[in-house]
Amino acid sequence: MIPAPFDYEVADSVEHAVELLNAREDSKLLAGGHSLIPLLRLRIARPALLVDLGRLDSLRYVREADDRLAIGALTRHHDLQHDPLLQEHCPLVSHTAGLIGDPQVRHRGTIGGSLAHGDPASDLPAVLLALDAEFVVHGPDGERTVQAGEFFRAVFETALGPSDVLTEIRVRKQGPAGWSYVKFTRRAQDWATVGVAAVVRRSNGSIEEAAIALTNMGPTPVRARTAEDAFRSPGDVGAAAEVVAAESDPPSDTGGSSEYRRHLATVLTRRALGDAISK
Ligand code: FAD
């Protein structure tokens, strides 16, 4: 289908983008276009104005910032996958970016677009939740920082207001931690029916820290705290896998029933934790 008519402006700075968004109701940002353009074509989204961020190359970067990495919101999935700093300090992010869609999607789609879109089936939101990332947002009242745990509110709904621009994602360097992201897809190169992200830190043979987060197991990415607790004390992968769906509310749709998703989450948690502790 052909999108409904809209006006189009190119932002030449973050401030300009905020100004353009704020000046007109029903305006939307365009980044890589790989979630928004399909919605425009289906006329599910009918913004009056599109504000294109695509020329803001200053928002494409991965930098060291003390014990963290800072990632510009317009960094494309392909660049996350191949970035040497991420590969060294945050391999969970680069690995997961390489599992997104196909090469065309990875060359156009951006980390900021993936997070702002708020699709519970997207891969990076659960990974960034497991990593306790924080998101830098610019809006009409200036800059603020939102924790990943506060960012995702509902299906396609985040903490971003209508005139906000997500500009940067900050993640702690993983250090000597085991990690994994596994996703089950019905077709090659697809959204996850279910995905599981795991980060495990050990010290003197016992589990010091464990983070588990789930993709497509509810309206937002889900932090599986009960499973983290079950895993932390005895380091028992099976015990964690059995309770991993405790906080979740998986949908039933053409991808699978909620029972099927619960079963998948159990199987994938066993795999993800097994993989993480082997690293
Ligand atoms: P856009 O489509 O440009 O924007 C998406 C939304 O975010 C819009 O509402 C826009 O206004 C808003 N937005 C964008 N940038 C910002 C910003 N900086 N600040 C505030 N709001 C912003 N994703 C997966 O995770 N896993 C997959 O396996 C997967 N497979 C895919 C397969 C196909 C065929 C396609 C088309 C997409 C797939 N995707 C998948 C989605 C892909 O990763 C998208 O690129 C991503 O979700 C959106 O990023 P974008 O830059 O294209 O955003």
By DSSP bridging, strand 157-158 and strand 165-172 are unpaired
Closest residue to atom 10 of ligand 1, CA basis: 29
Query: What is the structure's pLDDT at 75?
Result: 98
Mean pLDDT of 194-204: 92
Q: Which of 34, 80, 220 to mutate to test the pocket of ligand 1 (most atoms within 8 A of CB)?
A: 34
Mean pLDDT of 58-82: 97
User: Measured from the CB, is residue 109 less than 6 Å from ligand 1?
Assistant: yes
Rounded percentage of the chain residues whose pLDDT exceeds 90: 92
Which residue, among 115, 175, 174, has the nearest Cα to 146 in the 3D structure? 115
pLDDT digits (tens, 9 = 90+) for 239-275: 999 999 999 999 999 999 999 999 999 999 999 999 9
User: Measured from the CB, is residue 29 less than 6 Å from ligand 1?
Assistant: yes
d(CA 171, CA 34): 24
Mean pLDDT of 19-23: 97
Could you please state the CATH topology (level 3) that the domain comprising 57-170 is classified under.
3.30.465
User: Measured from the CB, is residue 136 less than 6 Å from ligand 1?
Assistant: no
Mean pLDDT of 15-22: 98
User: Measured from the CB, is residue 28 less than 6 Å from ligand 1?
Assistant: yes
Residue 4 is given by DSSP the state: P
Query: What is the structure's pLDDT at 108?
Result: 97
Mean pLDDT of 139-150: 98
Q: Angle 227-231-237 (CA atoms, 0-180°, nearest 5)? A: 100
pLDDT tier, 90 (very low <50, low <70, confident <90, very high otherwise) = very high
3-state secondary structure of 194: strand
Rounded percentage of the chain residues whose pLDDT exceeds 70: 100
Q: Which two tokens stand for residue 47?
A: 């913004």
The verdict on domain 180-278 having CATH code 3.30.390.50 is: yes
Mean pLDDT of 82-108: 97
Q: Is the pLDDT score of 146 beyond 90?
A: yes
pLDDT tier, 140 (very low <50, low <70, confident <90, very high otherwise) = very high
Is the distance from CB of 247 to CB of 176 less than 8 angstroms?
A: no
Distance from Cα 100 to the centre of ligand 1, integer Å = 11
Burial 117-135 (b: 16+ CB within 10 A, else e): bbbbbbbbbbbbbbbbbbb
Domain ranges of the chain: 7-52, 57-170, 180-278
Query: Considering the entire predicted model, what is its pTM?
Result: 0.97
Distance from Cα 32 to the centre of ligand 1, integer Å = 7
Could you please state the CATH topology (level 3) that the domain comprising 7-52 is classified under.
3.30.43
Q: Cβ–Cβ contacts within 10 Å for residue 184, how many?
A: 21
